[in-house]
Amino acid sequence: MVFLRLPTYVKTNGYYGYGCACMDVVTDKGRSRISEIRGGESLPLSTCREDPNLPKSL
C-alpha cells in the first residue's frame, strides 16, 4: 500500500481525498480490475497533474 503524506495528499471531505502515486500492479483485463498490488511510491501532485495520459480532474 502506498501511503501519501501532506502536502502530496489533498483532503476533500473529512478523511477522503486524493494524491499521486506510481504503482506496480497485476491486472485482470477481462474484469477491469487490479488483482495484485506489488508495490508503489507516492509522487508529487504536479507529476499527475502534468501527465497528459491522466484525466484533468486533479
Q: What is the pLDDT of residue 3?
A: 63
Secondary structure tally for the chain: helices H, strands E = 1, 3
This model's pTM is above 0.75? no
Question: For residue 54, which of 17, 18, 28 has the smallest C-alpha distance?
Answer: 18
Q: What is the mean pLDDT of the chain?
A: 86
Give me the phi and psi of 49, to 5 degrees please.
-65, -30
Residues 5-29 pLDDT 10s: 556 778 888 888 888 999 999 999 9
- Mean pLDDT to the nearest integer, 39-57: 89
- Cell numbers describing residue 42: 507516492
Least reliable range by pLDDT among 11-15, 30-34, 51-55 = 11-15
pLDDT at 25: 96
